[in-house]
Every structure is written in structure tokens, then in C-alpha cells.
């Protein structure tokens, strides 16, 4: 699940408390499989991401076809929210929200660490 808010000039979201932020479980994982998702309404890939032994492998749908080829995704570390409820996208169940930000054209650029870190590490 990759969601994009396209307007960089939109006002900030309402203030939340720190305890609310802690409810979001944002983790690092490594893409271990990447496949085309031709059934998706918008061009997308199906990803399988390894979040380490505590969480395991989870599936995600990601609208990242503009900047990424399938052959370059496997082995790439990404950041995802792992505690949202699964979301049905066509016949595919997306289990995590892979995080990205929009480029100038509104296309997704994945968030990733600047150096390799252990899978499953939680964002703080």
C-alpha cells in the first residue's frame, strides 16, 4: 500500500500527541521479491518485504513503477508501517504500507536508510 499526498503546499496535518505517534509501528525491511501487478488500476508492483524474525515477510502493493524497475528492487531496504490492517487491492492482500514521498510530478520515491541496517529495526 503506497499512498501519495501530492500537494507539497498543503498545510500540516493536525497536531497529535507523542503517544499517538508511538502507535504507528514503522520498520525497516528488505525487498525479497518484486512482481508486476497488471490487475492494479494504477501501474504498481507486488512486493514481498522481509522485516526480520519478529515480523517475518509481509506483502505490499506499491505504485513505484515510474522510478524503479523490478530487477533493481530485490535487495533494496525500504521503510513501511507494519501495523495497519491489511488492505485488499484487487485479488492481492497488501499487508504493510510501504512509505514514499512524491517527486515534482507526484510519482513515488521510496524512503530508505542511508546505510544498511538490520531488518525489523523500528523508526524512532
How, if at all, do strands 77-81 and 26-36 pair?
antiparallel
In a domain, 11, yes or no: no
In a domain, 45, yes or no: yes
Helix (H, G, I), strand (E, B) or coil at 30: strand
Domain that holds residue 92: 18-110
In a domain, 85, yes or no: yes
User: What is the CATH number for 91?
Assistant: 2.40.50.140
What does the pLDDT read at residue 4? 41
Q: Quick: pLDDT tens for 4-58.
A: 456 778 899 899 999 999 999 999 999 999 999 999 889 999 999 999 999 999 9
What does the pLDDT read at residue 5? 54
What is the model's pTM?
Answer: 0.90
Please count the structural domains in the chain.
Answer: 1
Pure H helices in 4-110 = 18-23, 70-73
Q: Is the pLDDT of residue 102 over 50?
A: yes
Helix (H, G, I), strand (E, B) or coil at 101: strand
What does the pLDDT read at residue 117? 97
Amino acid at each position: 500500500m503506497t499512498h501519495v499526498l501530492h500537494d507539497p503546499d498543503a498545510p500540516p496535518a493536525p497536531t497529535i500527541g507523542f503517544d499517538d505517534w508511538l502507535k504507528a509501528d514503522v520498520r525497516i525491511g528488505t525487498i525479497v521479491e518484486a512482481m508486476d501487478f497488471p490487475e492494479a488500476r494504477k501501474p504498481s508492483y507486488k512486493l514481498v518485504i522481509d522485516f526480520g524474525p519478529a515480523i517475518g515477510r509481509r506483502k505490499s502493493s506499491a505504485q513505484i513503477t515510474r522510478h524503479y524497475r523490478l530487477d533493481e528492487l530485490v535487495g533494496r531496504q525500504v521503510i513501511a508501517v507494519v501495523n495497519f490492517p491489511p488492505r485488499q487491492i484487487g485479488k492481492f492482500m497488501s499487508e504493510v504500507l510501504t512509505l514514499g514521498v512524491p517527486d515534482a510530478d507526484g510519482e513515488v520515491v521510496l524512503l530508505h536508510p542511508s546505510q544498511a541496517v538490520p531488518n525489523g529495526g523500528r523508526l524512532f
